[in-house]
Amino acid sequence: METLLASIRTQPNRRFLNLPGATWWLWLYRTGERRGGRLGQALQDLGEPPAYVDLALVSADAERLRMLLTQEGYRRAAVTARLDTLRRSGHETPVRVVFAIAPGPVTRIERVVVDAPAPLAERLARSSLLVPKGPVEDGAVRVFRGASFVPHETRYSERLLVDERQRILATLRDDGYAAVTADSVRAFLDGAPEDTTLALALRVRPGERYRFGGFDAEIDGPVPSAQPRTKVWKIADDPRLAVTVTVANDRRLRPTMVRDALGGRPGEPYRASALADTKRRLDASGVFAFTDLVAVWADTFRVDGVPYLPHRLVARTHPRHSLRLDAFVLQRTGVLQGSDGEVGTGLGASYDNLNLFGRGEAFRLRVAGSVAGTLDGGLSSSRQFETSASVAAPYAAAPFGVLLRPLAARGVRTTASLSLLTARRDELRLVLRARLGLRLRYDLAHTPALSSAFDLPDAALSNPDTLDGFGEAFLSRLPATLDPVERERLLEDYTRPSSNAAFRYTLRYSTTQPIQRRSGMALEASVGAGGLLEAFADRYMFTPDTVSSTVPGPGGGELVYRPYVRFSVDARRYWPVTPITVVAVHASAGVAVALGAPGLVPFDRRFYAGGASSVRGWSLRELGPGSASAERGVANILGGDVRLEASAEVRRTLVPLLFGAEWIGASFVDAGNVWLRAGNPGASTQGAVFRLPDALGELGVGTGLGLRVAYPFLVLRFDVATRLLDPALPGTFMPYGLRPTFYFGLGHAF
């Protein structure tokens, strides 16, 4: 039904928030029409003229609906349109346009024959989209006889046949049949228009199978130079099977970069996916302003009767150097305490070198300063200055490049970065005088949807300090049941210089658009370990046979380390149930385990709950651990070693376009909490330890409403939520009544 409604071009005047009779833009137009003058014209420009009935458009809509139904298997469908007169209003007579639809019986495909050269025909038949996936019911048949099969309950659909042809063409082009076109695959239906069952014949004439001929690349740069450089790599004795790269007006680019980006080599069987991978790698490098890779059919040649197809690449490189100044808004993460609820602004400057060593390496040097905060904590309660330098290479660099390259079918990217950060957090009266980070990351693209990343390592040296009032601000957030030893460990964790060399692997699968998130799914799982290098050095190098939980630091000081392992998983799914409604669900879980003394996971590797992107109804990090009681509005400074969260959200478009954005209303329910493990120093806090039988009853549950202002490149999020169930007050529904908590965020909550 929603698909049919979306195809109708006859539309009434827009309604505000989709409320009946609330035709706000029509009212603006009418008001401007009555006032006249410049103000009246301005109101008319903002408004919308009356949506008068166009009988020709109504008739076209009826025919469009009939054709759509016919294309989807209702070949006897009949659609008629009528106008129902409503109550007269002024000088105009409002009408309701009604389309009466009689779909008739549905037509199904009872048999499919793939007419193609053997054994290609049978392979195409068995991978056909017309063969439904999943289990077969009792009595159903999927009988294959060579290239013929009987589909199970397959409704005739022209859209399905188009998709089937595109699938066959893509399969052929990736199997060497370079010359196939849309006319190479024809569909023939056997049956009269009144029949409810049809036989389908797919005739496939792929032609010859090709191999790659030579590759000729011509690269032009933005800076004039005297002499072009040409490099030729011969693949065989035949000079036509060679890779030739000519670089003009670019002294830095190495021809080997272009050669290494080729997905196929001369003499190999033709594969369209190899060409797509080549263009994708070149474009992803950031070096080229444009690339064009085309087949040179006029130069096709044969060797021993086999056709070879040469290709030509034309590309232009970007200017190598660029300098950029920018102002930005941010939602801060990972500042001293893993904050993800602060919103702020800042200024930055970046220098980029897009081809540092000539093989597509992108170097960036950046400095930035920012302030952030929350409404209740102060709009500038957090201040930060950072500088960073990074080099990203479009290949797997040493020392692990040789090991990781075979794992990525679509490419590897290596990023080495060095960063220095200073920050101040007034809420906790803490200063991070310096945080030095060093990371070596390998990003691997396995398929268009599947990717993974290795951090080998992600190391950080932190030097925190305290301000006046730290003791009162910090200790007031700790449970009163903590004994002095436990308090000392937590104070040490937050205030002493520390080291954390972490190794991490992350696997991601995503089929959703990263900003709007209207359909598809996203899965992410990661496993990591930290502090192991420091523990090894402490045990076997600095203090043999003794574990001091410290290693020597710069300037003769000591660095505290915390060995741990950490697992997390995050799953998201988006269903577009109607063209203007999306149902989104989210679930995540994580566990962090401290290894050895002193039994603590580093604070920035713990889990927290509550806030704009977590369980709404609680302020940032306010929820947990477990059912431990805490003063309302006070953050859970202990964090947690275990996290469970789940959310459901219904998003519905209220206004399709206003001020350049789509306005979306949302209703949501969130549930979750964090807990301590038994070995945590805070485990003596009553109700804070994770016990599986009690976990369900210790979930915090919040609900609320929200508004999303969605631009193509940014989503502004406003939410208001209240608590339904608070684990600190068990057995009480809505313990604080309708007392709301307000949130602002960038991007969807999940």
Reported as a single tens digit per residue, the pLDDT across 455-467 is 999 999 998 888 8
Question: Alpha-carbon distance 411 to 407, whole Å?
Answer: 9
Say if residue 259's pLDDT is above 50.
yes
- Taking Cα atoms as reference points, which of 525, 530, 532 lies closest to residue 453? 525
DSSP 471: H
Say if residue 664's pLDDT is above 90.
yes
Question: Alpha-carbon distance 265 to 672, whole Å?
Answer: 53
Question: Alpha-carbon distance 263 to 118, whole Å?
Answer: 28
Q: Is the domain of 576 the same as that of 687?
A: yes
Q: Is the domain of 697 the same as that of 648?
A: yes
Please check whether residue 387 lies inside any domain of the structure.
no
- The percent of residues in the chain predicted with pLDDT above 90, rounded, is 41
**pLDDT tens-digit profile of 214-234?**
999 999 998 888 789 999 999
Q: Is the domain of 273 the same as that of 147?
A: no
Q: If DSSP codes are grouped into helix, strand and coil, which group holds residue 337?
A: coil
Tell me the one-letter amino acid at 374: T
Please report which residue ranges of 605-705 form alpha helices under DSSP H. 692-695
Exposed / middle / buried, residue 721 (Cβ in 10 Å: 0-12, 13-18, 19+): buried
Q: Give me the CATH number covering residue 272.
A: 3.10.20.310
Most confident range (mean pLDDT) of 422-426, 450-454, 632-636 is 450-454
Return mean pLDDT, the chain: 86
Please check whether residue 277 lies inside any domain of the structure.
yes
Most confident range (mean pLDDT) of 193-202, 280-289, 536-545 is 280-289
Average pLDDT over residues 448-457: 93
Please check whether residue 460 lies inside any domain of the structure.
no
Please check whether residue 403 lies inside any domain of the structure.
no
Q: Give me the CATH number covering residue 170.
A: 3.10.20
**pLDDT tens-digit profile of 290-345?**
999 999 999 999 999 999 999 999 999 999 999 999 998 776 544 343 344 567 88
Question: Alpha-carbon distance 242 to 237, whole Å?
Answer: 9
**pLDDT tens-digit profile of 269-294?**
999 999 998 998 899 888 999 999 99
Give the per-residue pLDDT at 131.
73
**pLDDT tens-digit profile of 576-634?**
988 889 999 999 999 999 987 777 888 888 899 988 889 999 888 888 888 876 555 55
Question: Alpha-carbon distance 522 to 444, whole Å?
Answer: 17
Average pLDDT over residues 420-429: 84
Range with the poorest average pLDDT among 141-150, 468-477, 573-582: 141-150
Please check whether residue 6 lies inside any domain of the structure.
yes
Residue 267: which domain range? 211-317
pLDDT: is 636 or 224 the higher one?
224
Give the per-residue pLDDT at 632.
59
Question: Which residue among 281, 300, 317 closes a domain?
Answer: 317
**pLDDT tens-digit profile of 506-516?**
999 999 998 89
Is residue 221 within 8 A of residue 248, CB to CB? The reply is yes
Q: Is the domain of 68 the same as that of 147?
A: no
Tell me the one-letter amino acid at 524: E
Average pLDDT over residues 145-162: 78
With helix as H, strand as E and coil as C, how does 108-152 read? EEEEEEEECCCCHHHHHHHCCCCCCCCCCCCCCCCCEECCEECCC
Is residue 344 within 8 A of residue 369, CB to CB? The reply is no
pLDDT band at 165 (very low <50, low <70, confident <90, very high): very high
What Cα–Cα distance (Å) separates residue 59 from each residue in 79, 112, 643? 10, 36, 58
Which DSSP string do the residues of 599-618 spell out, in sequence order? ----GGGSB-B-STTSSTTS
Most confident range (mean pLDDT) of 88-102, 447-461, 677-691, 723-737 is 447-461
Q: Is the domain of 37 the same as that of 163?
A: no
Say if residue 683's pLDDT is above 50.
yes
Please check whether residue 605 lies inside any domain of the structure.
yes
Q: Is the domain of 50 the same as that of 164?
A: no
- Taking Cα atoms as reference points, which of 584, 587, 605, 586 lies closest to residue 595? 605
Q: Count CB-CB contacts under 10 A for residue 204.
A: 22
Question: Alpha-carbon distance 592 to 69, whole Å?
Answer: 55
Q: Is the domain of 13 the same as that of 51?
A: yes
- The percent of residues in the chain predicted with pLDDT above 70, rounded, is 91
Chain centroid, CA 356 distance in Å: 29
Q: Is the domain of 96 the same as that of 179?
A: no
Question: Could you report how far apart the first and last alpha carbons of the chain are, in Å?
Answer: 28
The total domain count for the chain is 4
Say if residue 136's pLDDT is above 50.
no
Question: Which residue among 159, 188, 204 closes a domain?
Answer: 204
Verdict on whether the full-model pTM lies above 0.85: no
pLDDT: is 492 or 650 the higher one?
650
Give the per-residue pLDDT at 571.
97
Question: Alpha-carbon distance 589 to 607, whole Å?
Answer: 10
Please check whether residue 672 lies inside any domain of the structure.
yes
Q: Is the domain of 614 the same as that of 741?
A: yes
Q: Is the domain of 177 the same as that of 257?
A: no
Please check whether residue 484 lies inside any domain of the structure.
yes
Question: Which residue among 260, 287, 317 closes a domain?
Answer: 317
Q: Is the domain of 486 the same as that of 623?
A: yes
pLDDT band at 25 (very low <50, low <70, confident <90, very high): confident
Q: Is the domain of 116 the same as that of 217?
A: no
Radius of gyration of the chain (CA): 32
Q: If DSSP codes are grouped into helix, strand and coil, which group holds residue 80?
A: strand
